[in-house]
Amino acid sequence: MSPLATSFEQISTLILTMDLYTQTCLQCSKIITNKYSTSFSAGIKAFGKNLRLPIYAIYAYVRFADEIVDTFHNQDKQALIAQFKADTYTSIANKISLNPVLHSFQTVVNQYQIPNALIDAFLTSMEMDLDKTAYNKSGYQEYIYGSAEVIGLMCLKIFCNGDEIKYQNLLPQAKSLGAAFQKINFLRDIKSDFEDRGRTYFPNVDFLNFTHFDKKIIENDIQKDFNDALMGIKKLPKSSQKGVYIAYMYYVALFEKIKKLSANTISQKRIRVNNTHKIILMLRASLKIKLNFL
């Protein structure tokens, strides 16, 4: 065999190996998503096949960052998130990581040209969770943007697949959807955030004296976000529209359930939508998309 043939064979083998490695890492991200969120996993299955693995990669990445700040209480969280941040940017620059979650993430970041500014904002919000326990209005807005809105924008980069005009047109509505989801998470998790982690995300709210008036102001803000978001969902590409709408329907159902309860009730227990209701919502959303009734 000639040296040229040998060299070509080595290069071909390397490419095949990298492809296998990347696919394996993406499958790891899928497993992580399935383990951590059955609801989110179900929504991803409604996306076009080419979108699923990239979205799993985004979810697994943000999930692991969140684990550092919320779960690893016996570890040096500051050091862990700093290392995670450094490893993130190294993997993006080098286009490889031996951490399967980071390798999956950098693959998607480089393929879909997700800007570092979105990643910066997300990691900043994770760092905020390490030492901030209460937020003023500007801090709250910064946290919402970094912890939720930019996740929607990362996903939107994937949905638009290089169509920058479409991305810019849908950007405000994607931010609104991420904000609505996060604010509902805050309402749903008031008890654990306040009692277990000592956090109060909503500005100027005393959760030792959480009133109906406080709750109503938050709900009005969320409803505005939902109204804006729905306009964007209607304009999404068909390959992503159903999956996003299913997530929207689930959160709307959770929101409606929260609205019917007293401020005291949601302060004392975590509100959920049961699995049967989730299946019904998924079927209803799928039917509305199919019949073009959105």
Alpha helices in the chain (DSSP H): 3-36, 38-44, 49-70, 77-94, 100-112, 116-131, 137-144, 150-160, 164-188, 190-191, 212-233, 238-259, 263-268, 275-290
Q: How far is it, in rounded angstroms, from Cα 291 to Cα 294? A: 8
**Residue 15: what pLDDT?**
41
**Residue 43: what pLDDT?**
82
Q: Which residue has the tokens 């959920």?
A: 272
Do 220 and 252 belong to one domain?
Answer: yes
Do 95 and 177 belong to one domain?
Answer: no
Q: Provide the CB-side half-sphere exposure for 209 (13 A, CA).
A: 2
Residue 92 lies in a domain: yes
Residue 145 lies in a domain: no
Question: Residue 7 pLDDT more than 60?
Answer: no
Residue 140 lies in a domain: no
* pLDDT, tens only, 99-138: 999 999 999 999 999 999 999 999 999 999 898 778 889 9
**Residue 18: what pLDDT?**
52
* pLDDT, tens only, 37-54: 877 787 899 999 999 999
* Residue 260 CB contacts under 8 Å (≥ 6 apart), including other chains: none
Question: Residue 198 pLDDT more than 80?
Answer: no
Mean local confidence (pLDDT), 23-33: 95
Alpha helices in 113-237 (DSSP H): 116-131, 137-144, 150-160, 164-188, 190-191, 212-233
Look up the domain containing 39 and give its range: 7-131
Residue 212 lies in a domain: yes
**Residue 32: what pLDDT?**
96
- Angle 100-112/49-70 helices, nearest 10 degrees? 130
- 200: β partners: 134
- Phi first, then psi: give them for residue 59, nearest 5 degrees: -60, -45
Q: Best-predicted range by mean pLDDT among 32-41, 136-145, 208-217?
A: 136-145
Q: Average model confidence (pLDDT) for the chain?
A: 90
Domain boundary among 70, 100, 131: 131
The model's pTM: 0.89
Least confident of 34-43, 55-64, 72-81, 147-156: 34-43
Do 105 and 159 belong to one domain?
Answer: no
Residue 114 lies in a domain: yes
Do 277 and 169 belong to one domain?
Answer: yes
Do 84 and 33 belong to one domain?
Answer: yes
pLDDT band at 191 (very low <50, low <70, confident <90, very high): confident
Do 93 and 168 belong to one domain?
Answer: no
Using alpha carbons, list the distances in angstroms from residue 188 to 60, 224, 245, 254, 257: 22, 18, 20, 9, 10
Do 186 and 126 belong to one domain?
Answer: no
Residue 139 lies in a domain: no
Do 288 and 165 belong to one domain?
Answer: yes
Residue 56 sits at the vertex; the CA angle it makes with 54 and 58, to the nearest 5 degrees, is: 75
Residue 149 lies in a domain: no
Do 127 and 241 belong to one domain?
Answer: no
Do the beta carbons of residue 100 and residue 28 sit within 8 Å? yes
Question: Residue 190 pLDDT more than 60?
Answer: yes
Do the beta carbons of residue 253 and residue 281 sit within 8 Å? yes
Do 122 and 160 belong to one domain?
Answer: no
Residue 142 lies in a domain: no
**Residue 11: what pLDDT?**
41
Do 26 and 105 belong to one domain?
Answer: yes
Do 113 and 166 belong to one domain?
Answer: no
The candidate with the shortest Cα–Cα distance to 177, out of 251, 288, 273, 274, is 251
CATH number at residue 14: 1.10.600.10
* pLDDT, tens only, 71-81: 898 999 999 99
pLDDT band at 247 (very low <50, low <70, confident <90, very high): very high
Say how many domains are in the chain.
2
Domain boundary among 100, 131, 162: 131
